[in-house]
Every structure is written in C-alpha cells, then in structure tokens.
C-alpha cells in the first residue's frame, strides 16, 4: 500500500485534505465500494456524492451530501463544487452500459469527469484503484513515511555503514550544541563522546558545569552523546561522585588549555577515586604518556589514549599491550592527512610513520586538529565544534580508492571498536548510506574550505546520501529530511556497559572473522558495470555548509537490486558487517481491527474448509498479505517465539511439510517432526495415543494420515489445536485456502471466475476442499474435467449445490477448446498412483490430460495455471516459462497462508 501511494504521489497526484466526491455507477460496484467509503468517513473526510450514490450511501448509515448535475439547488451544484476547487478528490466509476448510444450523446458522468480534468481535480475511475488508494490513505500518513531503498533509483556505488562514533568531540560552546550535532549528522556520525574541553577556556569539572552541558544537549542534540568530566588536581572526589552523569574521565595534559593536570600525584588520586569499571581517557604524549601507562598498570586500570600524533607514542602503547596492559588508542583522521593541512609543527613528518603503524590504531576520531588548524590559519567566525565532520568520509574513502584502507577498516575503527571499548550501546535501526563514487567539491566559502584549502585543489570521493537514526530518516542528500522534526539525540550516560579492552589494534588490521549467518553488503560497483558521468548538484543543509557540487551518472539502477546480501562472504572492496535495516512494524493489529477484533481460528482445530465462512477466509487472507510483506522485508516476524509445532506426517510430503515447518520458523517458533517409521506407530501405537503424546510436548500439531476422516477422529483426543495436512482422499483445508489466496493475488478476485479442475478428481483431496471453498463466492463456474472413472465424487457436487445453488457445475470427459476459451483458472492435478489398486487402470488414465504449449495457445491471455504439486507428466516443462504458469508462485503463497493460519490459531490478537 505504501508503494502504491508513493507511486501515485510520484506522478503528481495530490492527497485529499477534506472533501471527496463519489459517483459510482453500477450496483455491484456500489456494494464493493461500501467498506472503502466507510473507511473514508471514519477517517474524517467530508463526503459528497451524486444523487443515486448518495441515496445508497445514506441507506448504510453514512453521512453524505448530495450534489446535483442538472437544475441543482443553490449551494448543491456539482459543477460549482468542481469549478471552484472545493473537491479534493473525485472518485467516478462509470457504469458499463452495453447499449449503443448516439455519437452525439454526452452523459453527466462524462461531463463531470471532463470538468475534473479541466480544473485539475484528482480523479480515479477504476474501482480496484479506488479501493487500493483509500486503503493506502487510511494506513499511512505523510508524517510517518520513511524513504526506503526501494523508493528511489541510483546508479552510484552505494555502501551502507552503521552509524559512526566520534569518541572525543569538541565540547560545543554557548548554544552551539544543536549546530555541532547537526554537523555531525551531515558527516554520518550518530553518536558523540562530548569532550570535557571546549575550544574556549570552558571545561566540565564539577556539578554545575556538567549540568550546564547536559541542559544544553537536552532537546537540542541530533546525535546520541555521552558527557565527559575533566580531571583537575582539586576534583578527584567530586569527579567520582559525578561518574553516573559523566561516566568518562578525561585526563588532559594539554598545557595550552587552562584546565589540565600538571602533577602525576593528582592522576593517582583520580585513579584511586574513579570507579574501577568506568572509562579513563587521556591525551598524554611523550613522558606524560609513559607515566600514565605506568600508573594505569599499577592501578590495574584500562586506559584509552586519544589524539595520538607521533609514531613513538604508538610504539609505546603497543609495547604496553605486549606487556599485558589494557591500553587502547585513537588517531585523528586529519593526522593521517596532515600533509594536506596548513603547517602545524611536527604533523607533516609523522604522516607516513602513522600510516605504516595502522595496525596499532584502535579507533579513528575527528579530534581537535580541525579547530587547531582553523586557529593556525586565522579563520574567524566559525564554530570550532562543527569543523571536520563532513570531510572525514570523503578523505577515508579516497584512501580506500587508493588502496591504503578498506571499508572494513573504516567501520571497525569508526563504529565497532569505539562501541566495544567504551561499552556504548547499539543504536537500533541506525545506518548511513554513502555514494562512494560521488566526487565531492567543497565550495570555497564553506567553513571547512577555510581551514582545509587543499580540499579545493584535490576533490575527494564519497558523499553521505542518507542518515537514518532509530528508523527515522534525518538527512537525505545533504538536507535534513524533516525540518520540523525535533532533535532525537539521547544522553547515554546511564546505559553504558562495562568498559572492555577487546582485541588489540593489530587484530583490527585484518577483516574480522564473521560468525555463521553474518551478512555482507555488496556495493553497486560490484554488481553493475561502470557507466558515463554527468554533472548534478548536492545541496547541503544551509545551517551547516552551502551547496556541494558532485559528479553523478546518467544511467540508473535500482539500489534494491544492487545491495546483494549473501551469507558468510567478506569482500575487501565492500563493507562486511552486520547492518540492521529499519523494519516496518507489522500492521496485523490494524487487520484485526478491520475485522472487529474477532478471531474465529483461535485455538480451533482446522479439519475442514466447511468450518469457516467467507469472512473468516478473508481475515486469513488479509493476515497472509501482511505476512508476505513482513517476510519480503525482514524475513521473519517473531509472533510465536517459545511455541513448538509437531509435524506428524504418515504420508510422504515435500511442500506441505516443509511449508508448515518454514512458516513456524519464520514466526519464531520451533518444530519437531515424526513419521510412521521413526515413531512408535511402527510398534503398533494407535493414532489417538500418538496425538495425546505429542499434545504433551507441543503447542500445535500438523497431521497427515492416509485414511479419510482419521485426522478428525484423532483431534477428539487432542488437547491442543490439530491442523489437517491431508487425510487420504478426504480433505486438505490449508491447500484449498492457499489455492484461493493464489487466485485472489493473481487475478484480483474469485467472484465471477470460471475455474476448470482437471485430472484425478476422485482421489484428489485438494480439489475436494477447493470446490467447497469456491462455493462461497458469487457467480463462480466450476468445470470438472476428468476420465469417467476419476470423476468428482457425487458427495462433493451435492455439497456444493446445497451450499451454493448459484454456482454452476459442469462435467466433461475431454478438455475441449470451448472449455479452455472460457477458463480463468486451469487447476491441474496428477493422477495419484498410490490411490489405485489396479496398475493397468493407472497406466490407462495417467496421461489422459497433458497441458503443453499447444493447449496454452487456446487459453485466455489473462488466465492462470495452478497445480498442487508434485507433477508427473500432466504439465509439460515447456509451460514453466509461460507467465500464466502460477504453480511455483502458488507454493510461495502457501507459506504466507500457513504463517497466517498458525498465527491466528495460536494468537488471539496481535
């Protein structure tokens, strides 16, 4: 439904706000539209209708205003309402008049449709489209929509990353919290460790300063964040007392900042007072670093060294690890590209040594280098806390394109390692989509170009396309997606886990081994050949940076076809990590509400289709449609977690058995199986005792048995629901349900169809159940085509005639051209060898009817061929490529229906 509504909007169709006009021609369509009209009324729309339609709607208790086409009373003119644009949507369903009219005749309906077009009033003229559109409007509202990868097409090389983490983000000054976190989102960062130091003299050292920072972040942060507290010589006890609100201790030796530590004895006091499992960060270097590592070893502390800038410091940290110290470190991305920055003492000469020691680096950060470079370059009127975020991924993926890094390195050091080391919580439904091949050029007047002028001369690759946080799209192509959305960032101080050292940085240099079932995401370039480029523009948020020009591509391919997910695959050129995509919540509660929250299947045996009405089946089919959507998007829906199904099959089965088992597993349940060879039946145990036994272990039983009526008899002894999976030549209710669902999905309706059942109708339990289900629909014609010895049993025909005297039943011994020409559904069954006592009789009838291409040429273009499978010779393999061959799609529909059936039987509500 959301796809249909988005497709309509993409054509320029406008959603109605208040007034909807209805004009429905035929009585049949009036009846069909009534539930949808009621949905419109309940949704708060004001309804107008032409006189005949208005009378019909009012008879059903719905308030509607009648508008007249000719000689209308003042204020009730259809022409006036359309011409003055008082109508937001016009649903006009013309009657199908079979009488020839004069060429000069113009109906009122035509005139009103013409007016709607002339005055740009949205118009729908098809009953199916109208029902679909109304249902879609009722389900979705614009403010709850999400842009998904299936909603757009791109030819760029797209990679999906987890939300990035910046461990020591510069403390925003004044009211700059929102601006700084907006800049972080634009760079793909969804979590920040807010450093205890700002670019000015401010630092978080006590209760008041910590409260001030938290107040600034509350309701203004676009990213999740953790506040750090600065160590001073005077606050060991005060800092420890605030560890719950500021769980990271920042020990600074930066003498250029007024808040720093000079005496090592002060560090010792902090190590004594600070909680053992809470995080300690330091920016120490040289002799200060050696002393910090020694103190950490003496106090058995894990320590993280931030903003490492020299190879000597990295070697010292690596040596400490070799001696058993839990020490980790990070390096600013800009230290690796310092040869492109304005001159800062000692940085340029360390670039290559740092790259050569990449395996010793645990994490990447943005760090304080952008602010220092801006200060050194004399840049004014910028917020130092916003600098550097939007250049990080372009710089890193330029290095990836040059072969110096891999995508795995980027994700490990900017996401996985920070979370593991600092105990940061996972961010569900949070990810970043980047276009790795987009060439980003920073405008000369932007803040980042002022302190990093070299980026103008050497444009970098990689643009952040989209940032999603907790299932909400925050950023799309550089613009904040919903300008009215309040900042969604959270203070994470109370949800940090225990600090963990994790593996050493050397292990991070290699792609991490993936656990069974882990997923890898292949990028567009690995699935598509390169294509030609042209110019476009990428507009960044005006609050952060002006528009950025990019190179884009002429030919476009769907991202959904590009993101190829495969198990146990790690590709150096693609991102290999677990990505949790936002999964739309199921709408099963809405389905139940539309059916009055009544569940006729709950804890009932499902033994025969005669148990259920047409309305019951429609509930089942509505739930099956939702199951289909959920499976296609997320693979499973854990409704039945903790439940167990016993699959008991005393006859061979491939599709029914595996379909039921897969359905249970996709619903989060468990399955155990039994058959006549592996159970105590081989020892003479009765079916009734077997059912009693399995009823003690399981929550539901699916049972197939060769004797007609055996499942019904066994159900009397079961204290849990029993589902009939086939009882000899008796019934197969779930097959009939999935067959009917298949017809509805493939052809749109069952009413008015001609359905031809071909083959062994005497022994085929599937056709017995199907005929009974089809008898519940209107104007259905059933053709029975079979050898005389395998004709449909009289009991079935009599049952159909009693239940639905309006259903036409015809018997044939030949599949004639006349029958084929009128058939909408050709339902073919195999002649079942296991049901014959005489093999000669079987051989004489097994190939009585064979469906091949010659037969298909005589059929309608919009019909379908179905088969419960397995097939033998009754359908030639050449038919498989015909689009009308629905029997393999029918199998998949079966899983959705059986998921729905299991869920409805075991769940009262959703």
656 catalytic, yes or no?
Answer: yes
Contacts of 36 (CB under 8 A, 6+ apart): 130, 131, 134, 135
Burial class (CB in 10 A: 0-12, 13-18, 19+), 535: exposed
Longest CA pairwise span in the chain (Å) = 105
Q: State the residue for tokens 């113009």.
A: 106
873 catalytic, yes or no?
Answer: no
CA angle, 660 then 661 then 667, to 5°: 90
Contact assessment for residue 414 and residue 424, using Cβ atoms and an 8 Å cutoff: no
For residue 654, which phi and psi values (nearest 5 degrees)? -105, -60
Strand spans (E) along 722-861: 722-727, 754-758, 781-785, 808-812, 825-828
Q: How far apart are CA 170 and CA 180, in angstroms?
A: 9
Contacts of 118 (CB under 8 A, 6+ apart): none
100 catalytic, yes or no?
Answer: no
Contact assessment for residue 318 and residue 275, using Cβ atoms and an 8 Å cutoff: no
Burial class (CB in 10 A: 0-12, 13-18, 19+), 273: middle
The single residue of 398, 552, 656, 845 carrying the catalytic annotation is 656
Q: State the residue for tokens 């790259």.
A: 355
First to last CA, the chain: 20
**How would you classify the pairing of strands 670-674 and 700-705?**
unpaired
The single residue of 39, 46, 470, 655 carrying the catalytic annotation is 655
Nearest to 375 by CA among 343, 348, 347, 351: 343
Q: How far apart are CA 203 and CA 231, in angstroms?
A: 10
Burial class (CB in 10 A: 0-12, 13-18, 19+), 386: buried
The tally of CA atoms less than 13 A away on the side-chain side of residue 513 is: 4
Nearest to 904 by CA among 703, 621, 608: 621
The single residue of 17, 532, 683, 857 carrying the catalytic annotation is 683
Which pair of structure tokens corresponds to residue 243? 């560890």
Nearest to 524 by CA among 606, 654, 433: 433
The DSSP line for 82-134 is HHTT--SEEEEE-----S---TT---HHHHHHHHHHHTT--EE--HHHHHHHH
Q: How far apart are CA 471 and CA 144, in angstroms?
A: 10
The single residue of 197, 643, 732, 867 carrying the catalytic annotation is 732
Neighbours of 181 (CB within 10 A): 28
655 catalytic, yes or no?
Answer: yes
CA angle, 639 then 599 then 709, to 5°: 95
| Beta-bridge partner residues of 828 | 758
The single residue of 157, 704, 705, 898 carrying the catalytic annotation is 704
Which pair of structure tokens corresponds to residue 696? 């003690």
532 catalytic, yes or no?
Answer: no
Contact assessment for residue 522 and residue 564, using Cβ atoms and an 8 Å cutoff: yes
Active site positions, annotated: 655-656, 683, 704, 732
């Amino acid at each position: 439904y959301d796809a249909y509504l988005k497709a309509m909007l993409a054509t320029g169709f406008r959603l109605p706000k208040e007034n909807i006009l209805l004009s429905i021609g035929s009585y049949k369509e009036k009846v069909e539209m009534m539930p949808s009209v009621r949905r419109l009324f309940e949704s708060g729309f004001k309804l107008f209708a032409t006189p005949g339609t208005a009378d019909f709607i009012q008879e059903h208790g719905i308030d509607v205003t009648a508008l007249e086409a000719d000689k209308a009373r003042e204020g009730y003119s259809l022409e006036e309402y359309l011409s003055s644009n008082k109508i937001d949507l016009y649903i006009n369903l013309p009657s199908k008049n079979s009488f020839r009219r004069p060429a000069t005749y113009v109906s009122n309906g035509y005139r009103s449709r013409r007016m709607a077009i002339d005055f740009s009033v949205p118009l729908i003229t098809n009953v199916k489209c109208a029902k679909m559109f109304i249902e879609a409007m009722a389900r979705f509202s614009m403010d709850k929509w999400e842009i998904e990868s299936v909603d757009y097409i791109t030819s760029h090389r797209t990679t999906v990353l987890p939300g990035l983490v910046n461990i020591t983000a510069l403390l925003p000054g004044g009211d700059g919290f929102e601006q700084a976190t907006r800049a972080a989102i634009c760079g793909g960062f969804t979590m920040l460790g807010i450093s205890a130091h700002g670019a000015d003299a401010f630092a978080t050292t006590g209760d008041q300063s910590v409260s001030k920072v938290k107040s600034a972040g509350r309701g203004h942060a676009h990213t999740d964040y953790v506040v750090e507290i600065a160590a001073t010589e005077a606050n060991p006890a005060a800092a420890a007392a605030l560890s719950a609100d500021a769980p990271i201790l920042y020990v600074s030796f930066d003498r250029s900042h007024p808040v720093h530590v000079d005496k090592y004895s002060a560090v010792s006091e902090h190590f004594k007072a600070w909680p053992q499992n809470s995080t300690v960060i330091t920016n120490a270097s040289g002799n200060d670093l050696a002393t910090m590592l020694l103190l950490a070893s003496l106090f058995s502390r894990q320590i993280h060294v931030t903003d490492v800038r020299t190879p000597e410091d990295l070697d010292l940290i690596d040596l400490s690890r070799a001696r058993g110290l839990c020490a980790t470190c990070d390096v600013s991305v800009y230290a690796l590209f310092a040869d492109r920055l304005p001159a800062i003492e000692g940085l340029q000469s360390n670039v290559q040594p740092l790259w050569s020691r990449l395996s010793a680096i645990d994490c990447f950060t943005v760090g304080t280098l952008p602010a220092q470079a801006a200060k050194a370059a004399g840049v004014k009127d910028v917020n130092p806390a916003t600098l550097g975020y939007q250049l990080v991924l372009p710089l890193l993926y330029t290095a990836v394109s040059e072969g110096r890094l891999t995508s795995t390195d980027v994700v490990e050091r900017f996401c996985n390692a920070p979370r593991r080391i600092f105990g940061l919580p996972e961010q569900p439904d949070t990810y970043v989509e980047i276009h790795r091949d987009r060439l980003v050029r920073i405008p000369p007047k932007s803040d980042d170009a002022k302190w990093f002028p070299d980026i103008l001369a050497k444009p970098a690759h990689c643009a952040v396309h989209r940032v999603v946080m907790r299932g909400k799209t925050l950023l799309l192509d550089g613009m904040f997606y919903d300008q009215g959305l309040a900042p969604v960032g959270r203070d994470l101080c109370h949800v940090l886990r225990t600090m963990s050292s994790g593996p050493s940085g050397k292990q991070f240099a290699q792609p991490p081994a993936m656990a069974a079932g882990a997923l890898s995401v292949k990028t567009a370039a690995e699935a598509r050949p390169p294509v030609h480029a042209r110019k476009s523009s990428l507009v960044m948020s005006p609050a952060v940076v002006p528009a950025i020009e990019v190179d884009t591509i002429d030919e476009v391919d769907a991202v959904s076809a590009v993101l190829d997910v495969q198990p146990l695959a790690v590709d150096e050129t693609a991102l290999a990590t677990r990505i949790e995509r936002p999964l739309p919540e199921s709408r099963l509660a809405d389905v139940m509400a539309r059916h009055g929250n009544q569940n006729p299947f709950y804890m009932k045996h499902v033994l025969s289709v005669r148990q259920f009405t047409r309305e019951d089946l429609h509930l089942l089919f509505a739930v099956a449609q939702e199951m289909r959507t959920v499976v296609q998007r997320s693979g499973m829906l854990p409704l039945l977690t903790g439940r167990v199904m016993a699959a008991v099959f005393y006859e061979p089965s491939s599709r029914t058995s595996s379909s039921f088992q897969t359905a249970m597993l996709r619903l989060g349940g468990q399955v155990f199986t039994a058959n006549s060879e592996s159970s105590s039946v081989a020892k003479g145990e009765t079916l009734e005792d077997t059912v009693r036994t399995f009823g003690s272990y399981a929550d539901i039983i699916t049972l197939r048995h060769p004797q007609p009526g055996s499942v019904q008899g066994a159900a009397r002894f079961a204290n849990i629901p029993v589902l009939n999976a086939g009882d000899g030549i008796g019934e197969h209710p779930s097959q009939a349900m999935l067959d009917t669902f298949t017809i509805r999905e493939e052809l749109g309706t069952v009413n008015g169809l001609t359905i031809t059942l071909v083959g062994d109708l005497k022994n085929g339990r599937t056709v017995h159940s199907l005929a009974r289900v089809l008898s519940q629909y209107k104007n259905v014609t059933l053709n029975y085509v079979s050898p005389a010895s395998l004709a449909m049993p009289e009991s079935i025909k009599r049952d159909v005639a009693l239940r639905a005297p309006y259903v036409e039943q015809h018997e044939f011994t030949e599949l004639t051209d006349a029958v084929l020409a009128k058939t909408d559904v050709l339902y073919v069954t195999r002649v079942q060898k296991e049901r014959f006592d005489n093999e000669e009789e079987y051989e004489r009838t097994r190939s009585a009817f064979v469906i091949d291409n010659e037969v298909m040429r005589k059929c309608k273009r919009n019909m379908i061929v179905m088969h419960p499978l397995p097939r033998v010779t009754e359908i030639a393999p050449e038919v498989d490529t015909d689009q009308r061959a629905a029997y393999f799609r029918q199998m998949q529909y079966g899983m959705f229906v059986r998921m729905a059936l299991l869920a409805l039987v075991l769940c009262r509500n959703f």
